Amino acid sequence: MSGAEVCITVTLLDGLVLARSVFHHSMNYRSVILVGSPTEVTDTEEKRVAFKALVDHVVPGRWEDSRHPSVKELRATRVLRLNIQEASCKLRRGGPEDMSADHALPHWAGVIPTPMVPQPPIPASDLRPGIAAPGYVAHYRRPGGRPAPDGAG
């Protein structure tokens, strides 16, 4: 793995953009591309720190409210550090960009939003009675996200 170069690409679809002309259909999205050289993290404590950072980034507060990984579990999981050499991001927002001559056409134009919205939590089927969802679960919001329309997220 040493010296290898990797490319990581992530794209989130935020909406389908429908124009009056199919030629002008598009998408609203956020995209990032990272290029770099990975190195394996082998130090047990450094792996534990990486696990905590990941868990608390996804669901703040969860690390302290869960059993931490055992040494065996840490050994069974490969953690990589990425030395980022290049990065690029791209996004598109907004509505359709029809030609002005198409504005008079009798076709609907606009955006179909495709948000990622958390739903109400579903407890495990074997959860012991009396264990309520902690606040960070019951009122979960994606980092930087908006609450669900019904207030559940």
Tens digits of residue pLDDT in 35-91: 999 999 999 999 999 999 999 999 999 999 999 999 999 999 999 999 999 999 999
pTM above 0.85, yes or no: no
What mean pLDDT is predicted for residues 92-105? 96
Q: Is 50 left (phi over 0), alpha (psi -120 to 50) or beta?
A: alpha
The DSSP 8-state label assigned to residue 57 in this structure reads H
- Domain boundaries, given as residue ranges, for the chain: 6-114, 118-153
Tokens 């960070």 sit at which residue? 136
6-114 — its CATH code?
Answer: 2.30.110.10
Please determine, for residue 150, whether its predicted confidence score (pLDDT) is greater than 70: no
pLDDT of residue 116: 87
Work out whether the CA dihedral 80, 62, 118, 92 comes out positive or negative: negative
